[in-house]
Structure formats: structure tokens, C-alpha cells
Structure 1
């Protein structure tokens, strides 16, 4: 199913539909926008027909100076079978030849009052948001001191209970059970909750609770950039767990790698506080303060000093 269609941008930007109404259900497959200046000059060798074509004052003024026969030929070539639509900016007059061609090939021809550059920027941002790669992860997303922490682990390990305690400690819930993630940039992942379960938290034995109703609007947020993954797993006596914090594990979601911490779960451990401290420690590391590395350096200095004394 197409994520964005021409009818969506007509509603979003209040565009005037001039002709080609039969094609308003055409899908938009790329966020790139084309300004067909070279094409109007007759060079169609690399015409990006799958993009929305945006004509501003430069393109329309150039069209007006063309010979009528040549203008008709070139404007018809703009109306490719895979072209989603053509938009005229600044509410300028539309060449009659373009109206006829768009109607013949069912290419939606639209017009906006906005200036070309501003409209191009708004449309690109909208399409990049809508067409961003997406996935869904089983887990809980919480905003802890500005750090988007994705809590993962097997069902029943205590993810939701930890999230509830974090909310009570003043942090904000983004999503529980299912986190929808989209990649907005090469290294930017943003998570949100599906509409059906937004603001809801499931606690076994208690049922479903509405976090916003119980704790107020300050206890939730609609979306958050994910920067840290905390994976909860049942304590395994035979497994070696990192005790210094020097080893940095990574988890790849879509095309982005995130720092991952594995926290063993056993009775008596306060997971909420551990996750909260993990988020604070992660912030400190990004600010250049690495306690584990500082301890290692100090230990190395002590060993060197002891070695020097023995030699003396």
C-alpha cells in the first residue's frame, strides 16, 4: 500500500486542483522534487519522471517564450505515465497546453499560492517524514532525562513494570509493548506508539492503565529519538556480564546502530534505578566523562608505580 498519494498532499497543503482529477490516487514513491528547467529547454535524456514536477516563475516564464508548437511538445513530455503530479507555484497562470496534456494523460495538475523555494522545502520535509523507512519493535520506549531509551527483552521479563516505576520517578512514557520506529536520517531513529495503544501501559495482574490520566500530561510524549537500547534478560549464572562498562555492544535497527546495554534481571534488583542511571551515564559519556575509562587509567598508573618501586 502506498504511504502517500497525490490526494494527501492536496489536503495537506490546500492545493488547487486544475486538471487531471482522475490521477489524484497516484502514489508518490520518492521525496525528491524536480524543477524541470532543462527538460523545458528540450533535454529529456535524464528526466526524473517519477518525481513531483514543480514549476516556478523561471519555468513558466521560459514556457511563455517558446514557440507554441515546441511548447506543446515539451509540456506533453512532462506528462509521463509514472509522473505523480505537476505543481505550479506562486498561483501563476498555467499554460493551456499543460492543462490539455495533464487532462489527456490523467496527470494531476495543481497550483499553490506559496513561493517556489518555500513550498519545495515544506513538501520535501513532509514527504521525507511520510516515506521514511519504518519498522516495529517489541519493547518499551521511555524518555529519561532527554535520552530516548528503548527497553527490550522477552515477554514477562519486567519491561512494563520498569517503565511504570520510571514514570513515577518523573520520566515520560512514549510507547509500551509495540514501538513504531522510523529512520528520519542516516543516524536518526524516532519512535512512537501506535494510535491504538498510545499512552497505555499493560501491567500483568493489574491490567491496562492510562498513564496520562493517572500521572498527567507531563508523564507522556508522542514521539522521541532513540539513542540507547537496554536489553533485559533473566540472570544466567553461566554467562559473563560486563562489570566495568568498557565493552560497548551495538544493536542495528533499520540502517542505524545504537548503543546496547544488557542488564540481567534477578529478584531484588531495582531495574528502574539501574535503567535511570544507565541513561545518565550514557549522557556523561557523550559529554566526554567515562568513569570506567578513568578507573582503568588510574589502575594502570597504580600498576606502573608499583612496578617502579619494585625495581628500586
Structure 2
């Protein structure tokens, strides 16, 4: 049985983030919540001064912040370690170049004490280098209400951005489920965002805009060149998601199954576009192998990909499969 003695565990995975880390830690270092909140700062083998910064905060707030140092293994390994170490009823990830609105954090902790659901969702803000902000919120009819996962997904019309890392706080026992597979390195955050939803029964929307998501560094892994350089990691993500969905689909509610299916379909479509836009013999061979994997593992996903279009009318995957023509070569 999962035991807790804190209300909330916040995990901050860190790898060479000395330029951002103090702002991140300062946004959550509130000693008045040391009896309710624990902050696990997991240093993933940083080679800069990140560990020194972590040590300073852990020394200053010993009952609030716990420093964990490990060999480099990737974002997902930090999250999996923190799940094992967590003592909080709820679990939230704060990336080490992002931060919380401290006022909203105070409100969040207060409101969290009143909850007993599997998933908490909160609004969040994206911000770039120039200070431009983009807010992601919820309609008034959804806020301050408890929903079944099925009814909520039906109400939001299957929008994927609702379940972004910045928005979600899981019940920790959901994440401890051995059926959830989180990858080690690139794109493991997508595993974290998507797979636990299969075990969520209830959720609640809180009004506090808690999370500031810094987008300026996205070019490293989420630009087109970044995806291409880590294309095998992206393929491995898709294999995990397809296998997970295939294993669990019979037990999923209709609306939740449709949501997860649509997410995987979008991710697969993107992978085909990546491989075909940078086509060479190696990428073509990899894509052909992946295509056969989908056909064998989940025929419904395979067939639905035939309907995927570019410019709204060109079924590019269907054309590639049946006519051996890559439209991206023209």
C-alpha cells in the first residue's frame, strides 16, 4: 500500500541548469509549507554548478528541499526515481528552467488540501525570451468542479493541450502503477502526460495559474532539426505508446480511449512526416519497419493513418504505402 505523510511532492529534474535553477527553486522555497510539501531536486549528473546551487537551497530549507544526485540517465529516470521516493499524496513536476507563480502556489496548496481526486488540472502560462506570454486556461463552467475523466474529455472535445505537463498534478499512487512505462530520455514527458490518464477516474480543475513554462530553449529537442536528431527516440516513444494503448484499450472508457487514440495518431502522423521530409535510404528503411510494426500491432491505428492528409486533401501516408511515392520528394 502507498503511504504518504505529505500533501504534495514537487520534483525538479536538473541537468546543467545553473542559469535558471535559482529562479526555479526560489519560486517554491516557502518554509511555511514544509509540513505539507516536499521538494525533490534530482540532479541528473550535471557538470556545471547546478549541484552547488541545489546544496545551498537544501541546506537553507532542510525540511522542505531534498537533494538527490544520480548519474546521467535522462529526464525520465529522474521522474521514475522521484516517484519511488515521493511521500506526497499528490505529485507535480517542475522543470528546472520553469517556475511557479509563488502567490498562486500558496493558493494551490490551500485548495489541494480539500481534494481527493486522481488528477488536478490548473491553468498555466507560456513565456519566451522577449517576455511575450500565452495563457492556457479553462472555461468557467469547468473550474472548481470535480469531473469523471470521461465527462471531462467529452466537454473539452478531446483537446490535447489540456493535459500538458504544466497543467497536471497526479495522485502519486496513480504514478506508482507498474503498468505505466516512462522512457528514460527524450520525449519521456509525453509518456508521463498520457499513460497515467488510463488509470484516472476523477479530476478537479483549480483556478490558480500556477506554472510558468519557459519556451525559449525548445529548439534543442522540439524544433524540426531537434526531432530529426532524436528521431529514433521519437520512434521508441511511439512504440511504447502504441503497445500501451493496444494492451489497455479494451478496459478504457469510450471517450478516454478516443482521446488517447487521437493523441497517438497525431504523434504517428508527425513521425511519418519527419521521416519522409528528410528521406534517404536509412530513414525509408526505418519508416518501412515502423509501418509494418503498426500494421501488426494495432490495425485500427494503421488504417486510420491512411486518412492523414497534408494541405487537408493529400493522403500522403496512403500514397507512400500503396504507390511508393513520397510527396515530400517533389
TM-score by length of 1: 0.23
Larger strand share, 1 or 2: 1
Larger helix share, 1 or 2: 2
Larger Rg: 1
